[in-house]
């Protein structure tokens, strides 16, 4: 048991070494400078003493933590040197000027606070430089007015002194908020990049197969060749230009699906019974290229493998509250078994739905006998 306790204590001491070493170093330096008469510690100024000690404790702990990890350690030493120099100047002013809490000392204290922000968060400081300097200039002017003009300064002495440290808490909170915004922006950029990648993976094999068929039609000098070229061009244009948008009209998606069906009908050697029922409210928007993977599967696993009696039934209903898409097709159970959860296309679709419509969609896929049914329902948020 004792060995376990010692191991735990050793682990904690190692992990939090910068914190306790920083406290010991700050305490030892404070006592040494006080004994040498370099600094004077007033026992009555409890709040001021705790605030200054805590500030230096944090700075020294940060220095101990980052020092082994920094490549440019000279830069860190320069920052520490500037802070030490400013404190020495404060001590010299306090020692040589016979005025308790003189404004010159606290002007230097304000400079230290500003420099600490510049050191620990240079990007943040550059963004809010005028605001930070303005706040501390205002704090110092209020202090100087209270110290030199007001008769009741010593009744509120501790409040005046600590007022130089309160802005640090405010700027720390603002810095945390900026980091949160940056993290959200990073997540948003990551999501956008992932969506772009997912969209780029949609139906490349379809275009490849259509080009092969187009080549065969051209060799045969078929009259259908120009029509196929135009339809393929329209589909590629939609995929490239509309597909990269965040939102498109559902009616445009329906036209894209219809174009896809017509191209397949030209490619197919056997007759496929295709019905496409649309009931679309004007102006309803949807993320592009969501329905095409399900239609692709219907042809790939059904119509392209059946020798006869192939069918595909499609329903697309869209209102400002909900989008409903269902596709049914038959397949040959002796030749292939349709996977209801696997496949790159379905995995791609599921991931896109998670990113664009989190907690707003339901994708149900099942097969019964020789019929495959995929149903996608999207609940649209209303303002």
CATH code, 225: 3.30.565.10
For residues 93 and 78, give the distance between their C-alpha atoms in angstroms, rounded to a whole number: 22
| Residue 350 · residue 363 · CB < 8 Å | yes
Question: Which of 51-60, 116-125, 310-319 bottoms out in mean pLDDT, i.e. has the lowest?
Answer: 51-60
Neighbours of 61 (CB within 10 A): 20
**Among the three residues 176, 209, 241, which one is the final residue of a domain in this structure?**
176
Domain end: 112, 142, 176, which one?
Answer: 176
Asked if residue 37 and residue 107 are part of one domain, the reply reads yes
Residue 103 is encoded by which pair of tokens?
Answer: 């404004």
For residues 17 and 157, membership in a common domain is answered with yes
Question: Within this chain, do residues 108 and 16 fall inside the same structural domain, yes or no?
Answer: yes
- Which pLDDT value is given to residue 197? 57
313 and 264 in a common domain: yes
Instruction: Evaluate whether residue 159 is within a structural domain.
Output: yes
Please give the Cα distance from 378 to 286 (Å, whole number): 9
Lowest mean pLDDT among 94-103, 133-142, 192-201, 295-304: 192-201
Compute the distance between CA of residue 238 and CA of residue 252 in angstroms, rounded to an integer: 9
Which domain, by its residues, includes 340?
201-379
C-beta separation of 264 from 292 below 8 A:
no
Percent of the chain surpassing pLDDT 90: 13
- Residue 155 is classified by DSSP as G
> Which pair of tokens denotes residue 226?
């120009």
pLDDT at 285 (0 to 100): 93
Q: Is residue 306 assigned to a domain?
A: yes
Say whether pTM exceeds 0.75: no
Do 142 and 7 share a structural domain?
yes
Instruction: Tell whether the model's pLDDT for residue 201 goes beyond 60.
Output: no
Confidence check: pLDDT of 155 > 50: yes
Domain membership of residue 187 (yes or no) is no
- Give domain status of residue 7, yes or no: yes
- Let me know if residue 350 belongs to a domain: yes
Q: Same domain for 228 and 146?
A: no
Residues 370, 282, single domain; the answer is yes
Same domain, 221 and 171: no
Which of 176, 209, 235 corresponds to the end of one domain?
A: 176
Question: Does the pLDDT at position 337 exceed 60?
Answer: no
- Verify that 137 and 242 share a domain, yes or no: no
Structural domains in the chain (count): 2
Q: Is position 193 within any domain?
A: no
Contact residues for 341 (Cβ-Cβ < 8 A; gap 6+): 365
- Percentage of the chain exceeding pLDDT 70: 72
> What is the Rg, in whole angstroms, of the alpha carbon atoms belonging to the chain?
36
pLDDT of amino acid 48 = 67
Measured CA to CA, the distance from residue 316 to residue 124 in angstroms comes to 50
In a domain, 125, yes or no: yes
In a domain, 278, yes or no: yes
């Amino acid at each position: 048991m004792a060995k376990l306790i010692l191991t735990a204590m050793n682990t904690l001491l190692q992990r939090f070494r910068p914190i306790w070493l920083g406290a010991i170093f700050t305490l030892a330096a404070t006592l040494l400078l006080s004994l040498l008469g370099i600094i004077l510690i007033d026992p009555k100024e409890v709040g001021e003493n705790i605030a200054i000690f805590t500030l230096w404790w944090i700075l020294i702990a940060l220095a101990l933590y980052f020092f082994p990890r920094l490549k440019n350690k000279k830069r860190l030493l320069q920052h520490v040197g500037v802070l030490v120099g400013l404190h020495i100047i404060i001590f010299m002013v306090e020692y040589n000027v016979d005025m308790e809490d003189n404004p010159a000392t606290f002007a230097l204290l304000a400079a230290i606070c500003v420099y600490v922000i510049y050191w620990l968060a240079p990007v943040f400081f550059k963004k809010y430089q005028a605001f930070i300097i303005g706040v501390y200039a205002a704090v110092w002017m209020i202090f100087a007015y209270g110290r030199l003009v007001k008769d009741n300064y010593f009744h509120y002495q501790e409040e005046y002194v600590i007022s130089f440290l309160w802005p640090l808490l405010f700027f720390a909170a603002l810095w945390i908020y900026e980091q949160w915004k940056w993290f959200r922006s990073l997540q948003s950029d990551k999501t956008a990049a992932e969506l772009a990648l997912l969209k780029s993976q949609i139906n490349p094999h379809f275009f490849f197969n259509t080009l092969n068929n187009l080549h065969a039609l051209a060799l045969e000098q078929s009259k259908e060749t120009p029509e196929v070229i135009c339809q393929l061009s329209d589909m590629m244009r939609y995929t490239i230009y509309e597909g990269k948008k965040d939102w498109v009209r559902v009616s445009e998606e329906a036209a894209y699906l219809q174009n896809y069906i017509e191209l397949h009908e030209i490619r197919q050697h056997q007759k496929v019974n295709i019905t496409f029922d649309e009931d679309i409210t004007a102006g309803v928007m949807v993320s592009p290229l969501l329905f095409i993977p399900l239609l692709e599967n219907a042809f790939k696993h059904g119509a392209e493998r059946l020798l006869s009696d192939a069918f595909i039934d499609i329903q697309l209903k869209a209102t400002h509250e909900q989008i409903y898409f269902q596709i049914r097709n038959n397949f040959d159970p002796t030749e292939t078994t349709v996977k209801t959860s696997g496949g790159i296309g379905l995995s791609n679709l599921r991931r896109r739905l998670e990113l664009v419509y989190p907690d707003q969609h339901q994708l149900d896929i099942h097969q019964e006998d020789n019929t495959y049914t995929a149903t996608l329902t999207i609940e649209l948020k209303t303002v």
